[in-house]
Chains A and B, each alone.
Chain A
Amino acid sequence: ETGVTQTPRHLVMGMTNKKSLKCEQHLGHNAMYWYKQSAKKPLELMFVYSLEERVENNSVPSRFSPECPNSSHLFLHLHTLQPEDSALYLCASSQDVGRAVNEQFFGPGTRLTVL
Chain B
Amino acid sequence: AQTVTQSQPEMSVQEAETVTLSCTYDTSESDYYLFWYKQPPSRQMILVIRQEAYKQQNATENRFSVNFQKAAKSFSLKISDSQLGDAAMYFCAYRTYLNSGGSNYKLTFGKGTLLTVNP
- A residues whose Cβ falls under 8 Å from a Cβ of B: 31, 33, 40-43, 45, 48, 50, 55-56, 88, 90, 92, 96-99, 101-104, 106-109
Contacts and interface: CB of A to CB of B under 8 A. Distances in A.
Interface in B13-33: 33
Interface residues on B, range: 20 to 34
A50 B112 CA distance: 27
Contacts, number: 58
A103 B34 CA distance: 11
Given A48-B104, A96-B105, A101 B52 contact: yes
A96 B99 contact: no
A56 B96 CA distance: 13
Contacts of A97: 103
A60 to B, nearest CB: 13
Contact of B104 (A41, A55, A88, A101): A55
B110 A42 contact: yes
Interface of B: 4, 33, 35, 37, 42-47, 50, 52, 91, 95, 98-99, 102-112
Given A42-B109, A50-B104, 12 more contacts: A31-B104, A45-B107, A48-B98, A48-B104, A48-B106, A56-B98, A103-B35, A106-B37, A106-B46, A107-B44, A108-B44, A109-B44
